Structure 1
Amino acid sequence: MISSFDERRNEFKPYGLTCELWSPSLMRKPDRHNEIEINYFPEEGITYLFQGRKVVAPPRRLTVFWGLVPHQIIDFEKANPYYVCTVPFSLFLEWKLSTAFVDSLLKGEVIFEDKEENSNYDEFLFKNWLNDINGNGSTEIALLEIHARLSRMSIRKLSSERKEQVAMQTNEISHVERITVFIAQNYSEPIKVSDIGQAVGLHPDHANSIFKKTFGSTLSEYITEERISHAQRKLVATDKSITDIVFDCGFNSISRFNAAFLKINGCTPREYRKRYK
């Protein structure tokens, strides 16, 4: 099955962990989602618009960017299918890749594999990930391979540019993005709205207000969604007990976890594991 961009989808609506074949189409509005997006174009590249910058994504070279940065396809030569993989931002941060690589993505940079020959096996990898993530293999193995592939790419980027690992200053990204990063890095801890406000230098009520205006959900709701997303991954990719997963993803009450999980997924954690594992 080949997908394409749905212009009716809500901005910031999460894709989650996915790997699919997409058909390019001109996008009348930009897409934004809080996942790391990985593209691979086997035949023809496409032209993106990133926050007013035109970026030509070349064929046969792995392309990586942060989906929260507004991006839209404005040109392509042929409607040849290409691979799209999305990785939840919180999971990406757990991988602890090189600081310079992560900071470049957070600053809105589109990162390409430096040489085409370094992507010789990427289509083979994508075919396996597509199969694994869509229920015909092991999601856990796919995640290990994606992690390893991005690790190798980050090492090459550092080597080619020979730059020091300098942490990005918090004032280089918007308040909303800073809030998102803070939640992604700390959702498994017992954080409160006041903690988030303090971390980004805003009054908690103001932080909550601008976040809700942007994402359509409160900070508390978003933290819960991040924790449930983490639990979904653990339920499918590991054999850890549900009790262990509850506390692993930041909940301090099994009953609250069960209620939140049922509300978001329409089923219990046990039913979810049985359905997708």
Structure 2
Amino acid sequence: MPRPDRHEEVEINFLNEGSLVYILGGDHIRIGARQLTLFWAALPHQIVSFSGVTSYFVVTIPFDQFLQWGLPESFHTQLLVGDALTCDDPRQGAIDAMLLQRWHDDLIGASEEVREIVLLEIQARMMRLSQSMQRATPKQSTAAEDTRSKPLGSTLEKAERMACFIARNFAKPIRVADVASSVDLHPDYAATTFRKTFGVTLNTQIARHRVAEVQRRLITTDQPIIDIAYGAGFESISSFNRTFRNSTGMTPRAYRKQFQR
């Protein structure tokens, strides 16, 4: 993948053999054989290496539709903050291999009825994945769960829309007021809602996206660091250097030297 990709969907990747490495935001994500992996594709992502891969399956789900599937809020939150979710159960991997091949075959020249069946099967697979992750992680009270007593449209939906707005616009000179305006909320209330839902502030989330974009460009391009910083949305070099060092523990130059191939 010579250039980064971004699209408003949840992306599922599955390899029957071999492995590949994505840069998702600024993180290296390794996908091994028969490991169903999904991530929010609004984040810049790019394949930087692969081994033994002859072909692989990619499934994309419109994010708005994904949110309507009734999956746990913690599942949404992990994707929205940039995590890649992976199922590495070998037994499930064999089942997924058959499922992906069946979905592929069914969708060739499929009728609307068959497409709907495949979509329901994908939804069921996501429900099983979220359930298995909940079993693997002891249930704890989270900020996102504290919002359940409030109507979805008034709290969680707006927080998710704010996260989407940031992902689409972080490279622009956006402020908390701009994010709040995108969901018709007062800036103070928007900031509180976001923090209670995702456990981080709006400014922290904006900075995360910007640093991740800088990390990706440092690794995959030879652009001057100053151009990368401004291109990712930072408005001053001093702010950029401080934020990048606080996030990664090193300077941009040292980061490029350590990770660039």
The range that moved more, 115-124 or 38-47, is 115-124
AA matched with 1:31? D
1:176 and 2:166 matched: yes
Q: Which whole-Å deviations, capped at 9, do the CAs of 1:44-76 have from their partners, x for residues lacking one?
A: 120001112111111111111111011100000
Q: Which residue pairs with 1:63 in the alignment?
A: 37
Q: Does 1:81 align with 2:67?
A: no
Counterpart secondary structure, 2:184: helix
What is the aligned partner in structure 2 of residue 154 from structure 1? 130
User: Would the alpha carbon gap of residues 136 and 198 (structure 1) be closer, same or farther in structure 2, given more than 3 Å must change?
Assistant: closer
Change (3 A) 1:90 1:174: closer
Structural mapping, 1:1-277, within 5 Å: 27-136=1-110, 138-164=114-140, 166=142, 167=144, 170=159, 173=163, 175-177=165-167, 196-199=182-185, 201=187
Does structure 2 retain, via aligned residues, the 8 Å contact 1:33–1:68?
A: yes
Measured after TM superposition, the shift of residue 95 of structure 1 is 0.3
- With a CA cutoff of 8 Å and minimum separation of 6, indicate the structure with the bigger relative contact order: 2
- Asked if structure 2 preserves the Cα contact closer than 8 Å seen for 1:64 and 1:112, the reply is yes
Counterpart contact for 1:178–1:200, Cα < 8 Å? no
Number of residue pairs the alignment of both structures matches: 163
Following TM superposition, the consecutive aligned residue runs of length 4 or more in structure 1 with deviations greater than 6 angstroms are none
Structure 2 SS opposite 1:136: coil
Q: Tell me which protein shows more helix as a share of its residues.
A: 2
SS of alignment partner, residue 109 of structure 1? coil
- State TM-score, norm by structure 2: 0.56
Judged with a 3 Å threshold, the aligned counterparts in structure 2 of structure 1 residues 178 and 98 are, in CA distance, closer, same or farther, namely farther
1:120 alignment partner, SS class: helix
Q: Once the 2 structures are TM-superposed, how far is the Cα of residue 79 of structure 1 from its aligned partner?
A: 3.8
Give the unaligned 5+ runs of structure 2. Answer: 146-155, 170-179, 189-261
Check conservation: 1:32, 1:68, Cα contact below 8 A. Answer: yes
